[in-house]
Structure 1
Amino acid sequence: MERRLTTVLAADIVGYSALMDHDRTGTIAALKAFREETFTPMLAAHNGTLVKSMGDGWIAEFQSTSEAADCAIAVQSAEKPEGIKLRIGIHTGEVVSDGDDIFGDGINVASRLEALAKPDQILLSDTAHNSLDRGNAASFDGGEQTELKNITRRLGIWRWPKGTGAGFAVNADVRPGIAVLPFDNMSGDPEQEFFADGITEDIITELSRFRWLMVVARNSSFTFKGQSIDIREVGRVLGVRYVLEGSVRRAGQRVRITGQLIDAENGSHLWADRFDGVLDDIFELQDKVTQDVVTAIEPSLRQAETNRARAKPTADLQAYELYLRAVSHFHLLTDADNKEAIRLTKLALERDPDYATAAGLLAWLHIQRLVQGMEPLDRGPKSAVAAAERVLLSDRADGIAKAYAAHSISMLARDLSRAREAFKEAIAENPNAAIVHMLASINLFLLDRPDEALQHATQSVDLSPRDPMRHASYLAQGCAFFHMERYQEAAAACREALSVRSAFVMSHLMLIASLAQLGDIDAARAAVADLKELRPGISSSLETTRLPIFTVPACAARWRDGWIRAGLPVEA
């Protein structure tokens, strides 16, 4: 017998028995026509091999997962005889071949998926989905974790057509899991075994009070009692991310309890400590140790989960790629690129509705339309604020996402104090992120705090001197300098901004006003001419000039006065 990794497609005719009872002759003829005219030719066209034919279903094998997915989609999309509907399951896994037949995980999982599928639907395992090329992977949605009968691990399941929903119960418990292994009795006294077991059971009970945490039951954890086993194997078998293990050692009336919290995915230690006590009252000591251990490890678990979430903003790699593509268009500042960035960001959020960074970018994209004088899309500012609210309510939002959202709340909802609090959190979480300091600087300018605004804007440039977004950092410096009537420095900052992004309208408007306030009217008029080449119909009363940056009371009259003196057209 030979073992190999392969992709298995399992297909089944829906309601075959009922069709046969209703019209045996017609069903046999229809099934034969479908098999000979559609299924078999499509299998051959996609380099598939028929392994089994079971009257109302088939098992086929493919060397390429992408070809298996293409074949399944082609079969489901093809015109079929009346009454013929298929369910299809696909899995990439190990099989064992015995002559012309195959057995094993590949067959079992594919068959389970086929049984779960709705009529005309294809279900794909996460293993198979991970093997697809980008184009094919984008044809499927879902990815929810669920359990299959007689399959030891939970599987992510993907669906075609997209949006058809799950016809199966998904595993809704996505909480991080922890197993508390029986504490080892290191005393050499069998009578102390009950004390070690009592400590373990009490810790399990107390940890179960935290609703955000899934704690493996005592009976499951205690199957490992007395065994020497790799922690990563414990995590795999029990389906948990974290394992707590420990020991109890007694010398006379003194007891020492040690414990360590381990990440079961990589074996790293997250926390370790020891507790000493006296056996005057064994139950009192047991309660104290339990409380101390639980109080110590719960924050460690939360921090580990926070770090995990920050390192992995989305579990969906396709969503992450869509987000990165959106960012590349965001930097180009054109109407077409902005629309494409919005489209890509929405696709990312369709794949992962809780992807906070993508929601934050979507909010900022709507601001970009306003800043650049483009026609609003969807609900314009309302869309931006709605996206920002999603971020601020999200448990998955990192500092970058919070900064995006706070910028939208600041610029569009004009809730400056709330935005300031969000920026404080963002800076605390990402103190070395240039973009966070840049956006925080703008918020401080709107709050009439130019000194602090200048500090953050300068820090943003220092942190990332070659950043593609540094034009906005220079612009923020220009705002602060203008507020403080340091027009020479404001003009220099605006020129720096334009050297990075010459198409950014606000930089032109700020440069014009700064030069005019300096009294250099010729230079200001030349700057107006440059802006008109970029935006022929611009005037100082257009929507761009009504943004919060240009309405700060300490500066508003000076902005407008500068534009008028430079000859920028003014509408009544």
Structure 2
Amino acid sequence: MAVRNYTRQLATIISIDAVGFSRLMGIDDESAVAAFEERRDIIADSCGTFGGRTFGDAGDSIMAEFGNPIEALRAAFDFQGRIVALNAEVADDMRMPFRAGINTGDVIVRGGRLYGDDVNIAARIQEFAPGNGLAVSETTWHHVKDKTAAEFTDLGEFMLKNIALPVRVLIAGRSGNGSSPAASFAAIPQANAQQKLSSKGPPAIAVLPFHADGGEHDIGYMADGIAEDIIYGLSNTRWLSVIAKGSSFQFRDDTLGTRVIGNALGARYIVSGTLMRNGGQIRLNTSLADASNGRLVWSQRFDRDLVDIFNLRDQIGAEIVSILDKEVDRAEQARTFQVPWESLETWQLVRRGRWHMNRRTRGDTETALEFFQKAYREDANSSAVLNELAWWYFWRAWLRFGDSDDLNKVEQFARKALLVDSLDARPHAHLGAVDIMRGEPRSAVDHLEEAIHINPSFAFARSAMGSAQLLLGNAATAIPFFLDTERLSPFDLYRFHNLGELTAAYCLVENWPAAIAAADRSLNLSPGYFYSRFLKIGALMRSGRPEQARREMAIFTTRHPDFSEQRVRWIPFTDKAANEFLVANFQLAK
């Protein structure tokens, strides 16, 4: 094999990227391309003036090479200033800022292009720069720190993709310029080598102040209020560490990157949002990002009528908390597969077990128990472990129509969890669910009221409260609890059950169209759930639709050949007339 001779040299690389280019392409692609080309010419001109050259244009990114790191920094300041001036002449939504990253190191030269880790580092640290901002590596900083009129803010060390060793990143700004990008980082403490996102222990989440679009003071107050409600609600989930408002609300500058803020706060997940008013409505755009890699985990838009502001805040805040709890849980379940199972920490064993539990197959359910039991052996006083074991045995008790041994285990684990953390809503909800299965709905209400008081966003507790009210004969009272559960957890894995309970409530108030609609939604999620189809058949008969009812009956008998009406008579309604009413509806189709 022929030996290749590569030319190596020391160079300073600038990686330059257009911020928001894809968004502008969606608005007006021709204008976006024209704006990019105009700014690209400015960048090339500045680089040439200071002794550099551009190379390797790709999409909305540009690379530049310099022999001298000082000249590279000067060129970057020059083109940034010229682009800021140019952007000031166009509408806000059509501005195209650029950010840049500078690194100095050894590169391979091949046909006018440069290769090597140090080129890649420049591209990676560019992601830490704010819009119109500049990030530099520690290597470059050592060359320029005493030779230019620039200010630097140390963000600390980061592990960069495909780079073996950590890289220290700093933000550079012009000295004495009040609009300096570095000034935006005044609240960030100086980082040391250990100040990185830790992989040990449960993740932390930070809720940033939501932005009010339009500058109206009342909307600004409401935006802050919703963010505060989310912080409070997330803290009540108990398994997540939540960064205090006093720290997270320091980051109101929307030019800062997710990874920078996450590193400064020690948070793996960042929640942000924008609130705007349009006439009699408000619109809230909310997102959850993973600060370890900058990726968007979840985003959603909420449109609401602007009526009772405090009630509106409670509704939106509770809904977002419930969604965030499940989205972070889902992300952490997936993350555990990046760790060998024998190296999983206790909390990671819980997340892995939950992943298997959510698959709802017999084999996965048994595997889930193995993970929960391993976590219990490692930490028998972990409230997270105790609650998962309580839930596992409750699920099996439900499948077995109230197996007393399993219910006793649920109570055992739930009461121990309360001793560990009396302000955890989960054990209260599990004790309430046990009372429901034992036919003691009045006692269940007390536990469930406490669970909802502690965590108003706890969808399972609200659904269980609906079930308790239903068993007590208060179907009309139960319906709002089931509807709240739908709002709080619209993608819940066990939503089919909540919709089945809602179907029963509608049947008992004789709202047949609503009962049929709720049953259909339940069966779409779990076609084999006998209770929803049983109730739907009765509702169709009561609605004067016997042909449809008999078609459903044919499906029912095929799916459940061993069904006995005693399964419905077993349901612990305090007034057994409710059981007979539901059975009589079903019998009409025979």
- Does the TM-score normalized on the shorter chain lie above 0.5? no
**TM-score relative to the length of structure 1:** 0.39
Larger radius of gyration: 1
